[in-house]
Amino acid sequence: MIEFALAAALMAQDVGQEGLPLCDELESNATHEDCVLQTAGDHAFILSFDFSPLDDRREMIDATVRQADGTLAQTMSYATESFFYPSLSDLNGDGMEELLVPLETGNVNTTYSLAIGTEYGFEWTSHELNGYGVDPVGEGVFMVAARDSAIARYIEFYRLEGLELDNIATIFLTYETVENVDDGPDCSLVDGGQTEGEAYYCSLAMGNQ
């Protein structure tokens, strides 16, 4: 506990020395500000993000990951057309947060690059998630909500084990067939999910709206 408290104190000190705002406290904008993020848990990292113009539509994100004592852990670079900022979330429930970097945003949905949190930093993957919300729901499962229309959306459920990402179920929520919107949307299972069933995944989705 003493070692963890010391690491947290050093991390906070280093972030202060960076003089940059936290990414999750900034408002989305066409032009990004340089910012930082801090991981939670026993394996503490400081991530700094430098944004620079790439062309007429895109910016380059240069990410630097440092350990709590300031030691360089790794660097990563991304090209983005999204006005959102990178974020952290523990999607697989192992106590180490994953890195989500927005690559492109359409009218509503955003495509995210997924890097998996480890005790050494982040493991880049080719996995991409698309939607307007990425949220853990427990037991190593997370959901991605994507808008289909003004009155309908898809919810995809994933399980992340190691570097493997499995799409275990997809449900469809719509108000098109609902007479009273106060009753909530109709929910149907459209892919996977045979073991737990439709009611289980619909309940998870409705409980996270």
pTM listed for this prediction:
0.88
For the stretch 64-107, pLDDT in tens is 999 989 999 999 999 999 999 999 999 999 999 999 999 999 98
Residue 209 pLDDT level (bands cut at 50, 70, 90): low
Determine the pLDDT at residue 18: 59
* Look-up of token digits 């000190």: 13
Residue 8 pLDDT greater than 90, yes or no: no
Whole-number Cα distances in Å, 188 to 27, 172, 174, 176: 35, 5, 9, 13
Residue 12 pLDDT greater than 60, yes or no: no
For the stretch 18-73, pLDDT in tens is 589 999 999 988 789 999 999 987 779 999 999 999 999 999 999 999 998 999 99
